[in-house]
Structure 1
Amino acid sequence: MELQQQPPRQPEGCPTVAIRVPVRIVVLVLVVPVRMVWDVLAAAARALHRTILRPVGRALSWLGHTLIVLPLMYLGRGLAWTGRVLVVVPLGWLWRWLVVPLWRYGVAAPASWVYRYVLTPLGHGVAWLAAGGWTGLSWVARGIGVVLSAIGTALVRVGLILIVVPVGWFWRRVLTPVGRGIAVVAREVGDAFGHAWRIAGQISRAVGRGLKWLGWQLVGRPVRWVWRSLCAPVLHWVRDTLWAPAARAAAVAGRAAREALGAAGRTAREALASARDTVRQARADAWRALVGGPPREPAPHPARTLGRTTTASDAVAAPEISLRKTEG
């Protein structure tokens, strides 16, 4: 793709150069503080948008969508369904079965008959009567047109001589040179503002880099030295000397507490099982004493022991004596 050749610039005269230099100096002096303030405000606005406005906007958007948009959407759907059922369907039925037949047979047919058999013959008669007088009116209109055309031509010539010619001379001799001068000044001022804005941006960036370097030298570097030399060793010592042993001791204590609770739970379950066996044997002995029969020596159940948590594989549950079975 070939580049289009730009038209050559016209040679600039001494007045243009004499205007350009002081204008650019004055504009640069005025624009540099404005550009620096603009850069500071732009950086603050970007930081504010990134840290506060964007999260708050997202939260408000979600909240508005949840609390306003969704309820309004469901409400609109409900209203649309209600309107369709209560308004659109009845109106459609009325239009189809009442209005259309009434219009077709009550209005359109009589109006068509009146137009065809009354208005059309009447219009033809009126047109025939008016045709004779139209010729005379056309001649009168032509005469009036000729007179008005002559008057308009005379007025145009008078206006051309009295208004257009002086205005054209004033435009060519006065306004055009003044406008060219104003255009030159305006163009130079605009170019000066653009040039000054770019230079002010470079100055502002240079000042910003200098302030950043100065802040790093005065604040960042000492803070980093304090962190690396004092805070980090102290935190590492606290972590290795106090926090890690405390965490290990807490873990050991927690494990011991869990084991102690488990052993206490097992002991309590075994004690409850032994108490149930004792109560069962006492009930059986009391029943034998009441109904007769040789007493039986209570024997410990082979499936459970007080000091063990396992159950024998060949142990059989001790039979329970039922009052109903004994009576039977």
Structure 2
Amino acid sequence: MELHKPPPQPRQPEGCLTVAIRVPLRILVLVLVVPVRMGWDVLVITGRLLRDTVFGPFGRALTWAATALFVWPFVGLWRYVLVPVGKALAWLGTVLVVVPAVWMYRYVLTPVGHAVAWLARGVYARVLCPVGHAVARLVRGIGAVLAAVGTGVYTAVAWLVRYLLVVPARWLYDWVLAPVGRAVAWCLRGLGWLLGVIATGVGVALYWTLRVLLVLPALALWRWVLAPVGRFLALVAREAGDALGHAWRIAGRISRAVGRALRTLFRWIFVEPVRWVYLTVLTPVGHVVRDAVLRPVAEGARVLGRSVREALAGARDTVRQARADFRRMLFGEPRQPAAVDRREPQGPATRTLGSSTTALTKD
């Protein structure tokens, strides 16, 4: 499915001030940025070269040394010391603690607990339950008596409180406090209205005073001074940013062109002469040296080595034979092992699949 791209926005016409600022600014920024970009490219190439030839091998060597000094000893300590010691301690703990504890729980604590539980059930069923029922009946009787007495006392106290406190307080509220409170509230509302009128007048006066003395001058300053200056500075900053990006891209192209030129110059000045010398001078000389000197020397070294190995092998056999003769002279001939009859058929009388004679039934 083909996506429909939105039509490009029409470019707004630019004023003469924008063009007058853009062209000199771009020329100035290009002159200033080209050395910076070329220095940056040189630093990047140097950093990559150092990373590939110095820091990378040094980091790998440092990693290997750290692994050999810190990781491998701890791994060996964990694998060959701590793990066997931990397994031995776990086995000792199982044998010395867990097995006796399980035996104690299974054959001592469990029977004792069952006996205590049986005894507690008997005491609860035959002693505590009857005593509890008797105490509950006694408490219910005492509670009924206290409830009857409390009901009478509560009724008398409620009647006295009603006619000695509630009725006089209600009369005092209806005929004294309520009228006085309404009068005080009316006075406070009138005072609040008066204070509101005064505050409104003071606020209006302060509003117009601040508007005439502060707001209108600040608005005029913003509209006729700060906003044009801000738009001019924004235009300069935007054009400076665009000029910097444009100059950085052009400086990159110039730096790449200079780098290619230097690379080509280095190739034709140094690499190609060295390559020509290697191919036309050093390679034929090396072939002549290899065929005329190195190969005969290597062949002679191989023949000499073979002769030395054969001489050493003969000397080794002679020494071994002399040692055997000396041992035989001192201790005599070694005892030969006696032949053992394995009751197996020999020669042409061996067993076949069609023969009924076996090693067990031959005799």
Within 2, Cα distance between the matches of 1:277 and 1:28?
A: 102
1:1-328 alignment, distance < 5 Å: 1-61=3-63, 63=65, 143=192, 146=196, 150=200, 154-279=205-330, 317=336
Residue in 2 aligned with 1:109? none
Structure 2's unaligned 5+ residue stretches are 83-177, 339-363
Describe the shift of the 1:49–1:260 C-alpha distance in structure 2 as closer, same or farther (beyond 3 A).
same
Structure exhibiting the larger radius of gyration computed from Cα positions: 2
Instruction: Report the secondary structure of 2:321's partner residue.
Output: helix
TM-score normalised by structure 1 residue count: 0.58
Within 2, Cα distance between the matches of 1:42 and 1:147?
A: 76
Deviation at 1:191, TM superposition (A): 1.5
Per-residue CA distance 1:263-312 (angstroms, 9 max, x = gap): 1221222233333434456xxxxxxxxxxxxxxxxxxx8x9xxxxxxxxx
Describe the shift of the 1:246–1:187 C-alpha distance in structure 2 as closer, same or farther (beyond 3 A).
same
Describe the shift of the 1:69–1:148 C-alpha distance in structure 2 as closer, same or farther (beyond 3 A).
farther
Within 2, Cα distance between the matches of 1:69 and 1:263?
A: 51
Within 1, Cα distance between the matches of 2:230 and 2:323?
A: 114
Q: Percent identity?
A: 48
Per-residue CA distance 1:112-160 (angstroms, 9 max, x = gap): xxxxxxxxxxxxxxxxxxxx9xx989x69x9499489645565444333
Root mean square deviation of aligned Cα = 3.9
Deviation at 1:194, TM superposition (A): 1.4
Per-residue CA distance 1:68-103 (angstroms, 9 max, x = gap): 7899999xxx9xxxxxxxxxxxxxxxxxxxxxxxxx
Deviation at 1:218, TM superposition (A): 0.9
Per-residue CA distance 1:4-55 (angstroms, 9 max, x = gap): 4443221012222222222222222222222212211221122112222233
Describe the shift of the 1:147–1:49 C-alpha distance in structure 2 as closer, same or farther (beyond 3 A).
farther
Within 2, Cα distance between the matches of 1:195 and 1:242?
A: 64
Deviation at 1:181, TM superposition (A): 1.7
Residue in 2 aligned with 1:111? none
Within 2, Cα distance between the matches of 1:65 and 1:280?
A: 59
Amino acid at match of 1:216: R
> Quick check: 56-65 or 265-274, which moved more?
56-65
TM-score normalised by structure 2 residue count: 0.53
Instruction: Report the secondary structure of 2:12's partner residue.
Output: coil
Describe the shift of the 1:148–1:6 C-alpha distance in structure 2 as closer, same or farther (beyond 3 A).
farther
Relative contact order (alpha carbons < 8 A, sep ≥ 6): 1 or 2 greater? 2
> Quick check: 1-10 or 55-64, which moved more?
55-64
